[in-house]
Chains A and B, each alone.
Chain A
Amino acid sequence: MEAGTLAPEVRPPAPAAPPAARDFEIVPRVGLPIVAIVIGGLIAAIAANKLWALEFFHVAFGAAWTIIDLFLGFVLGPILARLSIPARVEFTTRLMPKMLLIMPTVVTATLASGWQLGHYLGTIYSVYPNHGWIVASYIVVGVMAVIALGLLEPANVAVLFELKKERPNPAVIQKLMTRFIYTAAITGAMQVATLVIMTKVATS
């Protein structure tokens, strides 16, 4: 927004000049040891089958997954959609590489520990009184998985490759970022359903 104006300025979507290529790591190698530690801890928690460890992984990483999706879908996404292309590029080259490591790790930890926790507590079995809510959570996670794996993550990776090119094509970046913003909003909305289901299960 320019100085002196009060109404928020919505930038036109049509890209102008091609953004300059940037030097960055598509997968930040510095984060790989952290991912390895999390996966190692997850395996240990499942092997030990201890309630606290399983609760920790499921609640901590599940909360991270939900909050990241909600924040991306409803806060960062709309902001990103109104930024100029150079600002989007700047933001994207800093955020997306980290997301490539964070999201698969967070999702894997949440689902694997959640399944084991359900086995430990008996909530995944059909005799559980709130079994319908558990099945609903499977459906919500399944839909989110198909959208995230089929649309969001490939767009994330592809936009980073485009930005690494000597002359990135703004039209490609625009198309992929639009896909990213819309799918992030959809998964964010589905995370609201996750919150409803999980709080219902936890308080029953």
Chain B
Amino acid sequence: MSQAAPAAAPPDGPPQLPEEKLPPVTPLAMLSLGLIVAGGIYLASHLPEHVPIGPAAGLLIASGVVLVVNVMLLAGAPTFNWSLFTGVAKWALLAYVVIAGMIEYVFVKDGTRGAELVVLSCSLAVFAIHVPLLIGFTVARFQPLDEPGREAG
């Protein structure tokens, strides 16, 4: 098992970035968010008509798959500060559940129902999970391991 590179600046020489080999969590998260945003725009742009739900559902499923892949890749990372990740992500999750809840409330208040509501709700769920994951990852990737040698998962 490889040890984490020191995150703090070395006493001599120019400071270095920690050279962890971590999965591409940020690009995958942006891809996932882009897919649900595209699905949301597709649905919103056709209101109040009922449009085929297939394209939006397809984009949502693709986004969900990217989320699952992202979580699996991150879980397999050999060295990662999981305690800091969890500490940050849980509070970010709370904040984004409130934000997603506000948006959901507006959709329900406006009478969105049926398959459209299901797709929008699931899209908000992906959003409310993926953004905290990304925030937690970005914070934890630059921090040293609190328990050296701890395995992910």
Contacts and interface: CB of A to CB of B under 8 A. Distances in A.
B44 interface: yes
B15 A169 contact: yes
A3 interface: no
A64 interface: no
B9 A167 contact: yes
- Give chain A's interface secondary structure class: helix
Interface in B23-65: 26, 29-30, 33-34, 37-38, 40-41, 44-49
A102 to B, nearest CB: 13
Given A46-B105, A124-B47, A150 B26 contact: yes
A138 B37 CA distance: 9
B78 interface: no
B138 A158 contact: yes
A14 interface: yes
A87 interface: no
A111 B47 contact: no
Contact of A158 (B38, B98, B103, B139): B139
Contacts of B1: none
Contact of A171 (B16, B91, B131): B16
B133 to A, nearest CB: 10
Contacts of A135: 41, 45
B33 A18 contact: no
B8 interface: yes
A48 B35 CA distance: 33
Contacts, number: 130
A11 interface: no
A131 B17 CA distance: 48
Contacts of B88: 157, 161
A169 B17 contact: yes
Given A145-B33, A154-B138, A158-B138, A14 B14 contact: yes
Contacts of B9: 18, 167-171
A86 interface: no
A31 interface: no
Interface in A113-130: 115-116, 119, 124-126
Contacts of A15: 14-15
Nearest to A167: B8
A169 B142 contact: yes
Given A108-B99, A139-B41, A116 B26 contact: no
Nearest to A175: B17
Nearest to A144: B37
Given A145-B33, A161-B88, 7 more contacts: A112-B106, A116-B110, A126-B45, A138-B44, A142-B37, A166-B8, A169-B9
Interface of B: 7-9, 14-18, 26, 29-30, 33-34, 37-38, 40-41, 44-49, 84, 88, 91-92, 95, 98-99, 102-103, 105-107, 109-110, 131, 134-135, 137-139, 141-143
